[in-house]
Amino acid sequence: MKQIEKEIEDLKPWFHNLHLPDGTQTSPEHPLGDFPKFKWELIAPFIPSDLSGVNVLDIGCNAGYYSFQLARLGAKVTAIDIDEHFLKQALWASKVFGLEKNIEFKKMQVYDLAHESQTYDLIWFMGVFYHLRYPLLAMDIISRISSEMMVFQTLKMPGVEQYTSVSDLDLFKRETLLQTGWPKMAFIEERVAGDPTNWWVPNGGAIEAMLRSSNFTVNHRPDDEIFVCSRNTVVIHEEDMREKEYRAAAGIDKRN
Ligand SMILES: C[S@@+](CC[C@H](N)C(=O)[O-])C[C@H]1O[C@@H](n2cnc3c(N)ncnc32)[C@H](O)[C@@H]1O
């Protein structure tokens, strides 16, 4: 066994199939196929091909596949994950690729980003939303540190999301909520595919509505579950009720 194969073996299990410079792959038998290369190929046409000087935040970076691709396009990447094992893989691979100077890996919760003062030009928020018990809080946190663009992906319910938008739901006509496509999230009390860390599966309407509600505009949808968004310019007033709630939930103010 080659030294690199032994190192890959020692760092198992792999969720990202990384193609290393010598042609070795970290997870060639991945059940989803050549993952996440096939997803990257869907998204790449919708992001700038030159990311020189662009500040990227990769949330839930796992073994770093997307961070490496973005760094190769010139971006300065900050990559966070809560899982030491995946961060170890990512750090190892960054050295194998010679990209360690372009990416800073940090062990961090998405919620910790509420305390960041820095903003990011491009936020990569893929494969994490449905793992969160507090997904809309995370979305609001991310919105506040987003200055331009976000690529978002979540597990989603099957089906189309066309529905008649209601600007003011009649308290006595709540059957409206039952119409096909009304923004909804299914709560998962137990597991999805044996994984107990999945909590919410939204439908497409809910994804688009939550993105709008957190000040993002969806510009492209490379596939059913991927949303390429821009951040709207908004002025947030600290005294608004919604802002006060956000600050309390995110632990920004000790009292409010
Ligand atoms: C399904 S994987 C997605 C990995 C990668 N973003 C992708 O799309 O291929 C979910 C990743 O998010 C990380 N994660 C889960 N909850 C998180 C949280 N609260 N904060 C930061 N990372 C989290 C996991 O450790 C894991 O690496």
Would you say residue 210 lies in a domain? yes
* pLDDT in the model for residue 255: 54
* pLDDT in the model for residue 236: 86
Task: Give the Cα separation of 129 and 183 in Å (integer).
Answer: 16
Residue found by looking up tokens 């496509």 in the block: 181
Would you say residue 254 lies in a domain? no
- Is 154 in contact with 129 (CB distance < 8 Å)? yes
What distance in angstroms lies between residue 131's CA and the mean position of ligand 1's atoms?
A: 8
State pTM to two decimals.
Answer: 0.96
Q: Residue 59's closest CA among 81, 43, 75, 39?
A: 81
Residues touching ligand 1 (Cβ under 6 Å) are 36, 59-60, 62, 80-83, 86, 109-110, 126-128, 131-132
Number of domains in the chain: 1
* pLDDT in the model for residue 164: 76
Ramachandran assignment for 53, one of left (phi > 0), alpha (psi -120 to 50 degrees), beta (any other): left
What distance in angstroms lies between residue 168's CA and the mean position of ligand 1's atoms?
A: 36
Closest ligand 1 atom to 138 CA? 19
SS3 at position 105:
strand
Would you say residue 23 lies in a domain? no
Would you say residue 187 lies in a domain? yes
Residue found by looking up tokens 């193609």 in the block: 19
- Segments forming the whole domain that contains residue 42: 3-18+28-249
Mutation probe of ligand 1 site: the residue of 62, 88, 108 with most atoms within 8 A of C-beta? 62
What distance in angstroms lies between residue 201's CA and the mean position of ligand 1's atoms?
A: 15
CATH of the domain at 40: 3.40.50.150
E runs forming strands in 60-142 = 76-81, 103-107, 120-126
Residue-level pLDDT, tens digit, the chain, 256 residues: 789 999 999 999 999 999 999 999 999 999 999 999 999 999 999 999 999 999 999 999 999 999 999 999 999 999 999 999 999 999 999 999 999 999 999 999 999 999 999 999 999 999 999 999 999 999 999 999 999 999 999 999 998 777 777 899 999 999 999 988 899 999 999 999 999 999 999 999 999 999 999 999 999 999 999 999 999 998 888 889 999 999 999 999 765 4
Would you say residue 255 lies in a domain? no
* Closest Cα to atom 11 of ligand 1: 60
What distance in angstroms lies between residue 165's CA and the mean position of ligand 1's atoms?
A: 32
Closest ligand 1 atom to 36 CA? 9
* pLDDT in the model for residue 256: 46
What distance in angstroms lies between residue 244's CA and the mean position of ligand 1's atoms?
A: 28
* Closest Cα to atom 23 of ligand 1: 60
